[in-house]
Structure 1
């Protein structure tokens, strides 16, 4: 059950991260990364690793986008 919750959080965060790739919306990653961290934490206590891995991917994508945009844009 926790893995499903983690997957839902990861899917929402990934969708928002895709939208945050639009110029001038990079600031949204500051909200997406903590959401994905919560999802990864929930996925870490579940029996499966799929939700955790999805959320870790979203975290990496968000951090890379923040580095490319200088942290704001």
Structure 2
């Protein structure tokens, strides 16, 4: 059950991350990173790894995007 919840949270974070790749919308990643962290924590509590891995990928991509934009752009 926690894995399914983690996958849903990961998919929501992924959908929110798509517009954050547009120029001047990179600050949305500050919203997405905590959402993905909640998904990672739920994924750690579940017995399966797929939800956790999805949230970790979304988290890594958003952090890289934040670092490339200087934390704002």
Task: Give the unaligned 5+ runs of structure 2.
Answer: none
Deviations 1:15-63 (A, max 9, x none): 1111100111100000100100000000110010000000000110001
Q: Return structure 1 stretches of 4+ with deviation > 3 angstroms.
A: none
Pairs aligned (count): 73
Structure 2 partner of 1:20:
20
For 1:46 and 1:21, the matched residues in 2 are separated by 30
State the TM-score, normalizing by the size of structure 1. 0.97
Task: Give the unaligned 5+ runs of structure 1.
Answer: none
Structure 2 partner of 1:51:
51
State the TM-score, normalizing by the size of structure 2. 0.97
